[in-house]
Structure 1
Amino acid sequence: MRAPGALPRLIGVTNVVVITVAVVGLSLLPGEPPPQAGPKGVAKVQGSTAQPGSPGPSGAAEPATSPVGQPPGVVATPDFARQVRANEAGLVPVLMYHRILAERHASLDRTPDQLRKELEKLAERGYVPITAREFATGDIRVPAGKYPVVLTFDDGHPSHFGLDANGAPLPGTAVAVIQEVASRHPGFRPTATFWINREPFGLRDRAAQEAAVRWLVDHGYEVANHTWAHPNLRTLKRKKVSEQIVRIERLIKKLGAPPSQTMALPYGSMPRNKGAARSGSWDGTRYDFAGVFLAGAEPSLSPYAKKFDRGAIQRIQSNGKKGECRKWCSQYWLEWLDKHPGERYVSDGDPERISIPEKLRGNIVTKRGLQVIAY
C-alpha cells in the first residue's frame, strides 16, 4: 500500500476493521488498535507431504530429502513437540514495509541500514521468513523450534528490487539486503512477498518487468496483487473493485508469475462489499485469493486458528518505538513476543501435524485427516 493519511484502526479482540482513509501525504502513521490478547484456537490446513526417513535421536523421524529451498522436516511426536516447545496456535508477525530509502522522507520509509538491522535481529532470534502465500494457505515449513515471520513490501517500489548490469540485485534494494542477511545467517531463508501495481518496481519497459519478476520467482520470492492503480477500494463499486484486481492479475500472468493467492489492500481500505476483495470476476477473468492483508497494527493469528480471518489478515508496520509507534509497530511487537514466548507461533518442523500445548486442545478442529499433537 502507499502511505495514506490514516491507516485502518484494527480492533483485535473482535477482528472488526474500522477504516478511515483521507489521503494527505506520506507523513502520517497508522492509528492505534488495542493489542491482540492471543490465539483463539486453531483449524488445520493441508500442507505438502514430507518424506520421512529414519528416526532421529530426539524421537522425531527425519526425511531423506526435502524440497529445494525448504528446511528438512521431521515427523513430530508428543515428546519431540514438548522438547521444542511447539505452539502452532501462536501469533505470527507479518511485517509491512514500504520504501527503502537512503534518506527517509516519510514515517513509513525505512533505510537499508534499518531494514538490515531488523532482519539481523529476526535471524538472531530464530525467525525464518515465509511468503504471504505460504502463510495464508497454512503451508508453513519452518524448522522445529523456530518461528515464522512474513516479510511484505507494498507498491512494487524501485527501492524494493532492481537488477544491475550483471543480473544481480541492485545494492541497497530490499532484495539485496535480504540476500545479504541470509548469506550471513544460513537458517534465514531469503524470501518475501512483493505486492505490485501496474508499473512493478518503477519499470515501464515490458522486457525489464519480465526480467525482474522472473528473477524474483526463480529465487523463491512471491509477486502478487496490489491492484492496478492503487485506489481506495472502499470508494469503488464492486465491479470496479474486481476490475482493479483483474487488470493487475492479467499483468502478473504476462510477466511470468503464478496467479496470485494473496493481495494487499491499498491503504488497508476494505471494499464496502468485503467479499469482493477476496474473490470475484471481471471481463471473463476470475480471482480467488487465499488471503487478503490489511495495512497493519498487530501480529496475526495462526492460519490454523478458528478465528483467523483470511479476508482481513493483520500486519505490523516496520518502525521503531516513537510517537504512535510506541506500541503498535515492529520494534514494540517483536519485543512483546520475546517477553511472551507462550503467545508466539513455534514450529514443530512437521507440515503434516499441528503441535500445541494440551491447554489448547479444546480449540482445535482437524481438517482433511491431519493429526493434532497436544502435549
Structure 2
Amino acid sequence: MDKRVKATLVVLITCLLVAGILYAVIKTGPDPDISDNTTPTPGATSSVTPDPTLPAETPADTPEATEETTPEPVEERPGHLVRTDYENYQPNESGEIPIIMFHRFLEEYDGKDKEYTTTFREFEALLEDLYNRGFRLISMKDFIECNIDVPAGTMPMVFTFDDGTPGQFSLIEENGTLKVNPKSAVGILMAFNEKHPDFGLKGIFYVNMDIGDNTFKGAGTLKDRFEFLLEHGFELGTHTWGHINYKTQAKSAEDVINSLGKNQKAAYGILPDLEFYSLALPYGSLPQSDALKAYLREGTYEDIHYRHQSIMAVGSNPSKPSISPDYNPDYVPRIRSQGMEPVLQDLTWWLPKMTSDRMFVSDGDPSTIVVPEGRKDRVDTSKLNGKTLITY
C-alpha cells in the first residue's frame, strides 16, 4: 500500500478513537441528581436495597440521631444528685437524723454559760466540718414530714436555736437598708451557703415572746427581724412565754396553756399568720403528770388555739426519722452543740459515731423512701404519706 495512504488511515483511526473516548466521558459524567450536599431531600426514599448481611450505617450526628443515655447520677440542680444505683452507695432512709441545739454565739468567750456558748470562729469551723462529713441542712417542717430533699449519699441534719439571742441573728443598718449582721450565726450561715449552696440555708429559732424587742436585739423592728428570717427560708417556733420550767412551775393545766397560748397570741400580734407549729421545751422539762403533758401538744388560750407537731427535748442523741415506728413527736431528742467545755454526748462526742451505717443516707429523691431489704421493718408504711417505699 502506498505510504501516504497508510499514513492517512492511521490519522483517521486515531481521530475515531479520540472521538469515541470523548463521547464516553460526556455520556458517563456526574449524575445531575447527586450533589456534594448529602442532606437528603425531605420525603425522598432510596432506591437501593440494603444488603442484610452488612451492618447498618451509623446515622449522621444530628440531634435526632444522638444516643439516648441517662446519666448516673442525675443532677437535677447544682449540687443536687438523685441516684438509683443503690448497691453502690447504699442509701438508708430509715437511719437517724441529728437535730442540733444552739444557744449563745459570741465573738470571744465571756466566761459565762460554758456548756451553751459558741464563738463565731468555732461555728465557721463546725460548718466546714459538717459539710465535709456529708451533712446537709433541712427544715424542721421537712423533718416532721420526712420530706428529705438533699443530694444522694448525703445525710440530713436540723439546726435549732433557743432563746432568740442577737448572736444567733440580728440586723444592722447600712445606708438606710437593713442587712443581716455578718457577726451572727445567720450571717455566717448565709456566707457559707454562698460558697456551698448545696449545704442548705435552714434552721428554726425558738423564741420567748415575753422579752419583746430584745428578741434578736439589733436594728429594725421585731416584725422586720421575723420577716427577714422567714423570707430567707428559716423558721420560728415557740420556747414558751416566760421560759417556764414545766417540772417545777407547771402545777395546773392553766399554767401550761398560758405559757403556750400567750406566746402564740403575741406572735400573731407581730405577724397574723405566724403559727408556732413546733415547741422547744425550756430546760428539756416536762410537767409531772400525763394529763398536763397533753396540753403541750395542743390547747386553747382565750380565743387562740395552738397545736405543736413536734416537741423538742434537750440533749442527748440523734432522732429517729418521723417514718420510724419508734418516732415520738412528743419528745424529740436533740444534740447540744459543744460549748466552751465538752459535755458527754454533745456534738463533738457524737460526730465520730454518726457514720453512714447508722444515719439517714438520702437517695436524693424526696418522693421515695429507700432502705436495705433487711431494714424495711424500720419504716412505718402508714406514715409514708404518698411516698414510695423501695428496698434493695
- State the TM-score, normalizing by the size of structure 1: 0.76
Which digits, 9 at most, give the CA deviation of each residue in 1:343-373, with x for residues without a partner?
0111111111111111112333313443211
Q: Who is 1:267 aligned against? A: 283
Which of these residues, 117, 125, 131, is aligned with residue 117 of structure 1? 125
Match of 1:220 in 2: 233
Secondary structure at the aligned position of 1:178 is classed as helix
CA contact (8 A) 1:161 1:201 kept: no
Structure 2 residue 353 is matched with structure 1 residue 336: yes
Query: Structure 1 residue 241 and structure 2 residue 256: aligned?
Result: yes
* TM superposition shift of 1:189: 1.0
1: CA distance, partners of 2:153 / 2:212: 36
Structure with greater proportional helix content? 2
Mapping 1:34-183, distance limit 5 Å: 56-58=70-72, 74=82, 79-104=84-109, 105-107=112-114, 108-166=116-174, 167-183=178-194
Give the count of matched residue pairs. Answer: 309
Q: CA deviation at 1:278?
A: 1.6
Identity %: 28
Instruction: Flag the 1:369–1:221 CA change in 2: closer, same or farther, 3 A.
Output: closer
Say which structure, 1 or 2, has more relative contact order (CA 8 Å, 6+ apart).
1
Distance between the aligned counterparts of 1:309 and 1:154, measured in 2?
21
CA distance in 2, matches of 1:364, 1:292: 21
- Counterpart CA distance in 2 for 1:213 and 1:232 is 25
The counterpart of 1:254, out of the listed 260, 266, 269, is 269
Q: Residues 128-152 of structure 1, C-alpha deviation per residue, up to 9 Å, x if partnerless?
A: 1112222123222112111111111
Counterpart for residue 332 of structure 2: 313
* Larger Cα-atom Rg: 2
For the 8 Å contact 1:71–1:141, the answer to whether it is kept is no
The alpha-carbon distance between structure 1 residues 73 and 163, as it changes in their structure 2 partners (threshold 3 A), is: same
- Per the alignment, residue 189 of structure 1 pairs with 200
Tell me how far 1:95 sits from its aligned partner: 0.7
Instruction: Say which of 353, 362, 381 aligns to 1:347.
Output: 362
Deviation at 1:342, TM superposition (A): 0.4
* Structure 2 contact 172–219 (Cα < 8 Å) conserved: no
* Cα offsets for 1:44-90 (capped at 9, x unmatched): xxxxxxxxxx9842276x76xx8xxx98574x6xx433333211111
- Secondary structure at 1:168 match in 2: strand
How far off its partner does 1:320 sit? 6.4
- Worse overlay, 229-238 or 87-96: 229-238
CA distance in 2, matches of 1:250, 1:82: 51
Q: Sort the Cα spacing of 1:56 and 1:254 in 2 relative to 1 into closer, same or farther, 3 A.
A: farther
User: Using the alignment, how far apart are the partners of 1:189 and 1:201 within structure 2?
Assistant: 28
Cα distance between partner residues in 2 of 1:192 and 1:130: 7
Separation of aligned partners in 1, 2:152 and 2:212: 36
Q: Please list every run of 5 or more consecutive structure 1 residues that lacks an aligned counterpart in the other structure.
A: 1-53
CA separation in 2, counterparts of 1:243 and 1:156? 20
Pair 1:295 & 2:302 matched: no
User: CA 1:254–1:205 in structure 2 vs 1: closer, same or farther (change >3 Å)?
Assistant: farther
- Say if 1:133 and 1:291, in contact at 8 Å, map to a contact too: no
* Alignment match, 2:301: 282
Question: Under a length normalisation based on structure 2, what TM-score does the superposition of the two structures give?
Answer: 0.73
Q: What is the CA-CA distance between 1:245 and the residue it aligns to? A: 0.9
Q: Secondary structure at the match of 1:182?
A: helix
How far apart, CA to CA, are the structure 1 residues paired with 2:307 and 2:70? 40
